[in-house]
Homo-oligomer: A and B are copies of this chain.
Amino acid sequence: MAASAIVDKLAPTPIYVQLRDLLRAQIERSELPPGTRIPSERDLAERWGISRMTARAAVTQLIDEGYLRRVPGKGTFVQRPRVLQSLQTLTSFTEDMRTRGKATRARVLEQVIAEAAPVVAARLGLEPGAPVVKLRRLRLADEEPMCVETAYLAASRFSFLVKEDMTRQSLYAVLGRRGVELAWADQRVEALRVRAGEAAMLGIPRQAPVLRTERTTYDREGRPVEHIQSFYRADRYTFNVRLFRRR
């Protein structure tokens, strides 16, 4: 590996970001195959004419991203690629279906301001009966019914949602345009026998099993943003996650 001067100390991009992106690119192009030892932090520093702490910052981020692994006394090694890429877990229905190569559409069943039921209020950190936007949709993937989804959001912050056209748009996309940055969600998944109303809409037999999910999503400040209850057709949908072990 030649010490080409790709890292630019005068550029507005931090040096460690440049080095990080460069190393990541090499790993993804398999120039640094899994198991390889990358240059030591001192080597990297000397090669790029930067300090060791800066080189270390780049390496640390790639470790957090799962590309590298440090072994004290031995070196830093390229990890074998993860089966799914990254922890892209919290996704909207639309994003979810897109990665599966399906086109999505929705039939809006309700899009109103309503009073929060106690459970919903608790999840959203509101008083019971507080006004919430209620958005109930039948969601289709490649024109086939996939799930019935009901979303609740505090009307005090998100009343604009009752005026949006929600047949084509992802709720997350709309929120994103309004500057809402979603950060994490707590989700619960269970199996149920379908109820009559949902059975008809989903086009499945009575008594068929459905996957019910309940999700509360929070923004970067830790404020609850939405609470969503969904019923998925069990014959068309599985829920996939990557779990991490607590150190």
Q: How far is the CB of A30 from chain B (nearest CB, A)?
A: 15
Is A33 among interface residues, defined by CB-CB distance under 8 A? no
Q: Which of B79, B82, B187 contacts A240 (CB 8 A)?
A: B187
Q: Is the CB of B88 within 8 A of A239?
A: no
Size bin of chain A's contact surface: 35 or more
Provide the bound-state CA to CA distance between A244 and B65, in Å: 13
Give A192 to B208 CA distance when docked, in angstroms: 8
Q: Is A246 an interface residue (CB 8 A)?
A: yes
Q: Say whether B191 contacts A211, CB under 8 Å.
A: yes
Q: Are B238 and A211 touching (Cβ within 8 A)?
A: no
Q: In this complex, what residue of B is CB-closest to A232?
A: B191
In the complex the two chains form, is B188's CB within 8 Å of A240's CB?
Answer: yes
Assuming the A-B contacts A84-B186, A187-B243, A240-B186, are A192 and B234 also in contact, with contact meaning beta carbons closer than 8 angstroms in the complex?
A: yes
In chain A, positions 175-233 with a C-beta closer than 8 Å to chain B are: 181-193, 207-211, 215-216, 220-223, 232
- From B192, B215, B246, A87 is in contact (CB under 8 Å) with B246
Q: Give chain B nearest CB distance to A191 CB in angstroms.
A: 4
In the complex, chain A residues 10-46 whose Cβ is within 8 Å of any chain B Cβ: 34
Contact partner, A189, options B89, B208, B239, Cβ 8 Å = B239
- Determine if A9 is an interface residue (Cβ-Cβ < 8 Å): no
The docked-state distance in angstroms from the alpha carbon of A26 to that of B190 is: 36
CB atoms of A234 and B191 under 8 A apart: yes
Answer yes or no: A90 CB below 8 A from chain B CBs.
yes
Q: Which residues of B contact A223 (CB under 8 A)?
A: 80
The answer to the question of A241 belonging to the interface, with a C-beta cut-off of 8 Å to chain B, is yes
CB atoms of B245 and A183 under 8 A apart = yes
Q: How far is the CA of A216 from the CA of B243 in the complex (A)?
A: 10
Judging by beta carbons under 8 Å apart, are A244 and B87 in contact? yes
Q: Which residues of B contact A84 (CB under 8 A)?
A: 186
- Which single member of B53, B82, B186, B211 contacts A242 (CB below 8 Å)? B186
Q: How far is the CA of A221 from the CA of B77 in the complex (A)?
A: 10
Chain A positions near chain B (C-beta within 8 angstroms): 34, 53, 64, 69, 79-80, 82-84, 86-90, 181-193, 207-211, 215-216, 220-223, 232, 234, 237-246
User: What are the 4 closest A-B residue pairs judged by CB atoms, nearest first?
Assistant: A209-B209, A191-B191, A191-B234, A90-B243
13 A/B residue pairs, CB under 8 Å, sorted by A: A89-B244, A90-B245, A90-B246, A183-B244, A187-B241, A188-B239, A189-B211, A189-B241, A191-B209, A191-B232, A191-B234, A193-B209, A209-B234
